[in-house]
Structure 1
Amino acid sequence: MGNSPSSSYNSSTLSKSGVRRPKSVNHYLQDHVYSMLRQCMYQLPFPPNAVTENAVQKMAMAVERVEVIESQFVLLKGARSKGIYIIIEGEAQVLSSHGDIIANLLPGDFFGELSTLFFIPCTASVQALEGTRLLLVKNDKLRQAMGEERVVSVGLEDYFVRRKYFDTNGSVHQATNLAKIAKIDLRKIPMFTKWHEGAMKYLLDAVSPDSEVGPVTLVPPKTFLCHETEGLDEITVITKGIVSVIHEKKVVTELDANYWPIWFGEQEFFTGRRATVSIQTITACQAVVIKFADIEADKSKASLFHFNLCLLVACALTLNGYWPHKVGNQSTFAFPKAKTELT
């Protein structure tokens, strides 16, 4: 049959909703699809060592394939999910009640696990775009594969923080969870690593004066966060999402904050020099925006020596044409060649 994606979608039927489903779910998964399933299983909040290769193999034989012919909602807020969906090709969008994009889901991402594992209604609607292909791990199949180990090992709020989920349903205390997410990522940035708890709390309170909102802001796709020709009065920390780094109308590189935070603005804060690149969101992003004035007001509460030293290092790297990002477990600095000409 070959290795073309379409060859594994035989024996299928087209439903009225526009989704084609195979009649038989007992099939072989291609290596990259099996890897996505395996990665999803190991990221779910099961107890340590609960997920075994045997369980993954059982799921591989039991998953259903779903092909989205036309863009449609796969999950509806307030309804129950049929199981856990894994994107193997295409894209899905997590939407608020007003239709705003909360997150863009790409191949390897999964959704529906909150309803499936925590026994709650879906906290947001998810729309799969035309041509998207999914794996569906149904509730009963997951129960059969995992047995008694299907019980989750973390609470709902902790899982929201771990996954950096933006709640629109009131399932958790949004402001508290966003503050936890912000603090975890700020601690990964050199200039904030050694700030003590009191100083960090003061800063996050200044960023989010409204105690019901929290310090993290949703930024829509294709939004310019800074321009290389304009001055800044704030440091922006991207905690989730993908952005383009642009120099002279050319895309220099793309950075993914889902694995390590992205930050910019420290060069101008410390040296007064304007940014040398523009930053534009590719997907919906979550960002913490910190005004220079709030940092100045809070510096006395932090470790000043470490604060200034880290700023000097960060600015020196930036001024010399390096851009920080995360590879594996090591922080590296690189400034790749331009790869795309903007029109």
Structure 2
Amino acid sequence: MAVTGNSPRKSKAKHIDKETNDEAANDTDNDNEDDQEQHHEFIKNKSHATRKENGDTSLDLLEDDIVSAEESVQNFLISTVGKSNSKVYDILSKHGQKLTFRSHDSILKRDESENGLFILLAGKVNVLTSDGSEVMNTLDAGNVFGEISTLFDIPVTAAITAASDVTLVKLSKQITVELFEDFVQDLDIIDWFIQRKYLPTGSDVDSSRVYRRLALKTFKCINLFQTWTEEMIKKLILSFEHNIVILYPKGSIIVLEKDPLTSLYIVISGEIEIKQDSRIIRQIYVTAEKDPFVYTELALMVDGKTSPVTVKASTNCQVIQLNKELVIKILECFPEHMETFSEQARLFRISFQRQGHIYLMNEAYLQIEMLSSYLRQSPFYASSTVQQLWRIILNGDLQEFEEGSGVVLEVECEKYESILVVHGEVLQIHKCDSTEPDSDDDDEAGQSNITHDSDKVVVVLEAGEKDSEQDVSNDKQTFSAGTVIDMETITKMSEPLKANTACLLLKIRKCENVNKTDAHTENKVNTAEKAMSDDALNMV
């Protein structure tokens, strides 16, 4: 699937003016751009003439088509082999075939020998199971398919049908092999399946090996298992009695609200929606380029809890369901790691005792796996270990705020070292005299600006329009979900932070305050455990 990356050409080519002025003629950069555009135009015209001479009845590729297809191929190369190819534009111009299909048309049939690379320009296609009875995945514009049978010289592994009217660009097998020949020489077919998170649909690939290796790769990138050895993870994988990766069809329920929580759910690919009281509160899309989504650590850490939300598959989803009993069984074979897990569970119980009501109301946003990934993207916590991140998160204070309310008190600046925006937005408005130079302010603000795009940490700086009557401009700094704001930056702000929307914040304590809180709350937990049964404790 397409990733968000830089492509050599992301916008339409500019028309070339044959009568350039003297100033432009002396501009070397402009000359180079013009030469490149002229070259592209020459290639396009030549390839059109060649296809016409050969009796090719496919549609003509327009400049927009070539640029769009090139971006998709470049993104595909970056996500699979780690680098782009400067020849892609020329190859598409010379050899690309533009094809269209109506909804329900067959594009690729399983086991057929004709193959090539297909770049989806518009519409959606369905990837079918081996018998063609179920949809395994749905691909939309920007995706690339057909490469497995082409690169590894095997029959088509899965049938592809049009889920809507479709426009695509096809490259022949020979051209596709030439395009990839410098990249995939040492890559075997199972490696490719794992990298792309493909599920096997036939006998061309050992499905058991694919499932096991996909699970191994998945567990290794989850913080909860960072302290596990490869031996432990392999032992865990081999303990599964069924296929470790489960395919949940579109529309199926993965977890139902109020069901007992006994398993950890790891979404490897697909789109899910999280609902509470029939209201969608969050949508998550996991692709081959994104880390898995984990729901919920609460099942492993605290007994007797029920799910506060429903998790539903919006598309076909690949999911690993990991039972707590299986995790404990493996840990019992490795006592030193059981101690680490017990410490994590202890910290979780302490935090839950302090603010369990907020956990239960905001379960969809409070996955430690996700909070850890947010913190790791901040320079303040990038080098923290897994254990340190757990302690930082679980010793923090969760606070909810209504829209328009202030989010930081002056006295809190001594208590906390930073704030993580878990959900919603926080806004800071800086008023300044537009007649005065503001370069220093910009530089200072830039030091704390990070950008938030899907799963990346971001702080967006938007310049407000100038008020001509008052000669005052407003700089709006919006801190979105996933942003870490250090307290030193907050204390330097000329205006207080306010909730731009209803929001949930995690206020991270300074190191000297963490141990005090930990010890104080642990005493409360120990006292509570002595006074109450486990069932009563789980009702907190």
Interval of TM-score (by shorter of Structure 1 and Structure 2): 0.7 to 0.9
SS in structure 1 at match of 2:332: helix
Match of 2:23 in 1: none
SS in structure 2 at match of 1:294: helix
Matched, 1:200 2:228: no
Match of 1:8 in 2: none
What amino acid is aligned across from residue 276 of structure 2 in structure 1?
H
Structure 2 unaligned regions, length at least 5: 1-11, 13-56, 353-357, 379-419, 425-500, 503-540
Q: Name the larger-Rg structure.
A: 2
Contact 1:65–1:135 (CA under 8 A) maintained in structure 2: yes
Q: Following TM superposition, by how much is the alpha carbon of 1:90 offset from its aligned partner in structure 2, in angstroms? A: 2.3
Q: Following TM superposition, by how much is the alpha carbon of 1:334 offset from its aligned partner in structure 2, in angstroms? A: 3.7
Matched, 1:125 2:159: yes
Contact 1:246–1:279 (CA under 8 A) maintained in structure 2: yes
Match of 1:35 in 2: 71
Matched, 1:85 2:118: yes
What amino acid is aligned across from residue 65 of structure 2 in structure 1?
L
Match of 1:115 in 2: 149
Q: Following TM superposition, by how much is the alpha carbon of 1:313 offset from its aligned partner in structure 2, in angstroms? A: 6.6
Match of 1:174 in 2: 207
Q: Deviations over 1:228-268 (max 9, x none)?
A: 22212221111121111112212122212221111213213
Aligned sequence identity (%): 18
- Tell me how far apart the structure 2 counterparts of residues 274 and 165 of structure 1 sit (CA, whole Å): 32
The structure richer in helix per residue is 2
Match of 1:9 in 2: none
Contact 2:125–2:162 (CA under 8 A) maintained in structure 1: yes
Contact 1:123–1:171 (CA under 8 A) maintained in structure 2: yes
Contact 2:102–2:162 (CA under 8 A) maintained in structure 1: no
Q: Structure 1 residues 265 and 148 mapped into 2: Cα distance closer, same or farther (>3 Å)?
A: closer
- Tell me how far apart the structure 1 counterparts of residues 180 and 187 of structure 2 sit (CA, whole Å): 18
Match of 2:258 in 1: 229
What amino acid is aligned across from residue 145 of structure 2 in structure 1?
F
Contact 1:37–1:60 (CA under 8 A) maintained in structure 2: no
- Tell me how far apart the structure 2 counterparts of residues 306 and 203 of structure 1 sit (CA, whole Å): 17
- Tell me how far apart the structure 1 counterparts of residues 210 and 233 of structure 2 sit (CA, whole Å): 15
Q: Following TM superposition, by how much is the alpha carbon of 1:151 offset from its aligned partner in structure 2, in angstroms? A: 5.7
Matched, 1:278 2:310: yes
Contact 1:266–1:314 (CA under 8 A) maintained in structure 2: no
**Farther-moved stretch of structure 1 (63-72 vs 234-243):** 63-72
Matched, 1:158 2:194: no
Instruction: Give the count of matched residue pairs.
Output: 310
TM-score normalised to the size of structure 2?
Answer: 0.52
- Tell me how far apart the structure 1 counterparts of residues 228 and 180 of structure 2 sit (CA, whole Å): 45
What amino acid is aligned across from residue 35 of structure 1 in structure 2?
E
Q: Following TM superposition, by how much is the alpha carbon of 1:79 offset from its aligned partner in structure 2, in angstroms? A: 0.6
CA RMSD of the aligned region, Å?
Answer: 3.1
Structure 1 unaligned regions, length at least 5: 4-20, 339-343
Matched, 1:58 2:90: yes
Match of 1:295 among 313, 321, 327: 327
- Tell me how far apart the structure 2 counterparts of residues 219 and 264 of structure 1 sit (CA, whole Å): 15
- Tell me how far apart the structure 2 counterparts of residues 234 and 218 of structure 1 sit (CA, whole Å): 16
Q: Following TM superposition, by how much is the alpha carbon of 1:170 offset from its aligned partner in structure 2, in angstroms? A: 1.4
- Tell me how far apart the structure 1 counterparts of residues 348 and 123 of structure 2 sit (CA, whole Å): 37
Matched, 1:252 2:281: yes
Contact 1:239–1:260 (CA under 8 A) maintained in structure 2: yes
Q: Structure 1 residues 310 and 71 mapped into 2: Cα distance closer, same or farther (>3 Å)?
A: farther
Match of 2:450 in 1: none
- Tell me how far apart the structure 1 counterparts of residues 216 and 147 of structure 2 sit (CA, whole Å): 25
Higher relative contact order, chain-length normalized (CA < 8 Å, sep 6+): 1
Match of 1:265 in 2: 296
Q: Deviations over 1:199-242 (max 9, x none)?
A: 222321222x25xxx41111111111112222122211111211
TM-score normalised to the size of structure 1?
Answer: 0.79
